[in-house]
A and B are shown apart, each in its own frame.
Chain A
């Protein structure tokens, strides 16, 4: 521009700047001015806050679960294993802050069913846990996690069917495709030879060629129920299955027929 702009002209450009609407030459000139003008810098910050509020003018729409699932998949390799969250600030308005819509919403049927099942399961388990705290500490943690998942509206409850597997064996998976993690509750799996393990798989759409390893575990040496946490890529409609595999690390892909299989209710 041939004629230098006056300060009032720059002030007028601030609105277009925060809206991202300036022409390239105006934007360049405004950026240069901004570096040395505290008044305009303060004005821009105030206007940026207004622009942030404009976002709320549109009807609010929930993003599909796949958005967070995609983010989670990207960050997982870098995520700290045990982040140290500071204690929540429970003072005043923050403690009373509006809770997340998901937390307040009506639980979808699946998660509600999972919650009911888990309340019953926890009650029964508590009887057994009374005198065996040390032994069952890990299971309590897993059950707590299962309870959390049951409150997750995205969690699916999958019953693992033993047909034509070993009689008496049964399992349940509570899995969140949003969090890519879940809990396996399994009971009465037959004991294995020392060099064999059980492996839980998550198969997108039931396609076992694309099955992902979710968990490798040894069965109990006596009749009983195991509760195990796992993390694996989970998609809505993933089928879960348990196969017997060579130990100690299991296989990259299933090598035997599943002894327990579970289709999600929506599959």
Chain B
């Protein structure tokens, strides 16, 4: 089976191997996070080919810079998904035509899944359920501000213009929303998963 010898390795161990140019280790990380990265990029960019480019760039960047990865600054998952987000937002800001007004939670399907895909990765399914539950619990205005920024790539000033509130209100809503998300996800225990331990 592809990547068998890497399955038991933690993310940090895999990154160390990637720094030694071990393609199998990169592939193992791609197996773990390529799907989440692609799903995120696809949601932000809406165009599949652009999303594919972003995911390739992210994993090639890890390949080239794995030696500089600092485990003390966060998990590999956070690193990869943050990079995916930043690059996708960079693209969406360059390609203004990609951005169109839509409700901020369009495509997120925040209602519970009536039937999750059986082949869904268990970890991803659990995470998704927890994150969606946390988002649903937020006041609508805070959720809207977070989602427009995160998935729409809008700056705080742009969010303020879209929603029709002062910039200061948007800053406060984002701060409050993120604080509540942090508390909710800590309560849900999503902070750490077996293979994310360094």
Q: Residues of A at under 8 Å CB distance from B?
A: 11-16, 18-23, 26, 45-64, 66-68, 70-72, 74-76, 78-80, 83-86, 88-90, 92-106, 148, 151-152, 179
Contact = CB atoms under 8 A, between A and B. Distances in A.
B69 interface: no
Contacts of B39: 55, 58-61
B18 to A, nearest CB: 9
B156 A55 contact: no
Contacts of B166: none
6 contacts: A22-B156, A55-B85, A67-B55, A80-B20, A83-B20, A95-B8
A15 B174 contact: yes
Interface class of chain B by DSSP: helix
A85 B25 contact: yes
Given A46-B182, A71-B30, A58 B43 contact: yes
B56 A16 contact: no
Contacts of A64: 48, 52
Contacts of B135: 57
A68 to B, nearest CB: 6
Interface of B: 1-10, 13, 17, 20-27, 30-32, 34-40, 42-43, 48, 51-52, 55-56, 59-60, 63, 73-75, 77-78, 81-82, 84-86, 89, 107-110, 119-125, 127-128, 130-132, 135, 146, 149-151, 153-157, 159, 171-172, 174-175, 177-179, 181-182, 185, 190-191, 193-195, 197
Given A45-B74, A53-B127, A101-B120, A15 B6 contact: no
A94 B194 contact: yes
A63 B185 CA distance: 27
Contacts of B123: 98
Of A70, A72, A97, A102, chain B has the most CB atoms within 10 Å of the CB of: A97
Contacts of A92: 194
Of A48, A55, A62, chain B has the most CB atoms within 10 Å of the CB of: A55
A105 B108 CA distance: 25
A23 B156 contact: yes
Given A71-B60, A97-B194, A52 B81 contact: yes
A55 B20 contact: no
Nearest to A51: B82
